[in-house]
């Protein structure tokens, strides 16, 4: 006597899966890195470019996955069941990027460091005319070097340039600073706030 075997067709997969910790975590870390890059006065460091590219690629991956889920009726229940996981990147990323776009990281970081910079600058002006300072940490910034020019003091921020041109801040309470004429190039200088100016190499 033969035995009848009934093969039951496997139901189609209802979902490609909501974002997991790797995707959500990666987008969060990249957003924090972008926020940190925005905390440098003036233009951010060069490494912000690959971070932006990675952020864009992961954002596209998230969007495409969500679109696939939403445009397939049989998969929409999976989106509703995991709505928090789908929304997590937006909940985390949007406030961080909004904070960065308003310039808050830069203002806050410099405000917390301004006292240390000004103390060093006043000490320099009170000292010898050839005062110089090597690598040091002032407030929340690493400084590569600092030099006095008359009644002004120029600080070069570590990691604040683009890998080729150095950038930093100048303390000049008497107005726009005049940098030494023996410089091989004329640095770009613009007012930042109060007694502070931004400078960057220009060559």
Q: For the residues 18-46, what does the mean pLDDT come to?
A: 82
- Eight-class DSSP state of 74: G
Q: For the residues 189-199, what does the mean pLDDT come to?
A: 88
Q: For the residues 76-85, what does the mean pLDDT come to?
A: 82
Question: Residue 14 pLDDT > 50, yes or no?
Answer: no
Q: Which pLDDT band, with edges at 50, 70 and 90, does 21 fall under?
A: confident
Residues 119-160 pLDDT 10s: 999 998 888 766 778 888 999 898 988 988 888 999 988 876
Strand partners, 200: 167, 188
Which pLDDT does position 164 carry in this prediction?
A: 64
What is the overall mean pLDDT for the chain? 80
Domain ranges of the chain: 21-102, 106-200
Q: For the residues 37-65, what does the mean pLDDT come to?
A: 82
Q: Answer yes or no: are the C-beta atoms of 150 and 165 closer than 8 Å.
A: no
d(CA 40, CA 199): 12
> Which of the pair, 124 or 37, is modelled with greater confidence?
124
Q: Which pLDDT band, with edges at 50, 70 and 90, does 182 fall under?
A: low
Question: Residue 47 pLDDT > 50, yes or no?
Answer: yes
List of residues 6+ apart from 144 with CB closer than 8 A: 135, 156, 157, 158, 166, 168
- Eight-class DSSP state of 82: T
d(CA 3, CA 30): 60
Using DSSP's 3-state secondary structure scheme, residue 156 falls into strand
Can you read off the two tokens belonging to residue 86?
A: 């789908």
- Of the candidates 124, 151, 150, which has an alpha carbon nearest to the alpha carbon of residue 136? 124
Burial track 53-79 (b if 16+ CB lie within 10 A, e otherwise): eebeebeeebeebbeebeeeeebeebb
Which pLDDT does position 51 carry in this prediction?
A: 85
Phi, psi for 47 (deg, rounded to 5): -65, -5
Using DSSP's 3-state secondary structure scheme, residue 197 falls into strand
Question: Residue 118 pLDDT > 90, yes or no?
Answer: yes
Q: For the residues 181-190, what does the mean pLDDT come to?
A: 67
Q: For the residues 25-34, what does the mean pLDDT come to?
A: 87
List of residues 6+ apart from 133 with CB closer than 8 A: 120, 124, 143, 145, 146, 147
Q: Which pLDDT band, with edges at 50, 70 and 90, does 112 fall under?
A: very high
- Eight-class DSSP state of 10: P
Question: Residue 61 pLDDT > 50, yes or no?
Answer: yes
């Amino acid at each position: 006597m033969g035995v009848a075997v009934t093969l039951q067709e496997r139901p189609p997969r209802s979902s490609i899966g909501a974002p997991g910790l790797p995707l959500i975590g990666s987008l969060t870390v990249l957003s924090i890195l972008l926020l940190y890059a925005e905390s440098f006065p003036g233009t951010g460091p060069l490494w912000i470019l690959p971070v932006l590219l990675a952020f864009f690629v992961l954002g596209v991956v998230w969007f495409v996955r969500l679109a696939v889920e939403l445009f397939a009726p049989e998969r929409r229940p999976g989106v509703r069941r995991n709505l928090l996981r789908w929304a997590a990147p937006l909940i985390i990323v949007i406030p961080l990027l909004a904070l960065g776009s308003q310039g808050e990281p830069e203002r806050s970081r410099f405000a917390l460091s301004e006292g240390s910079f000004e103390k060093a600058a006043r000490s320099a002006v009170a000292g010898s005319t050839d005062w110089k300072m090597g690598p040091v940490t002032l407030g929340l910034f690493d400084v590569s070097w600092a030099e006095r020019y008359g009644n002004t003091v120029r600080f070069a921020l570590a990691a604040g340039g683009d890998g080729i041109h150095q950038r930093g801040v100048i303390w000049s309470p008497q107005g726009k600073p005049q940098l030494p004429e023996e410089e091989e190039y004329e640095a770009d200088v613009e007012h930042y706030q109060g007694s502070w100016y931004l400078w960057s190499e220009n060559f």
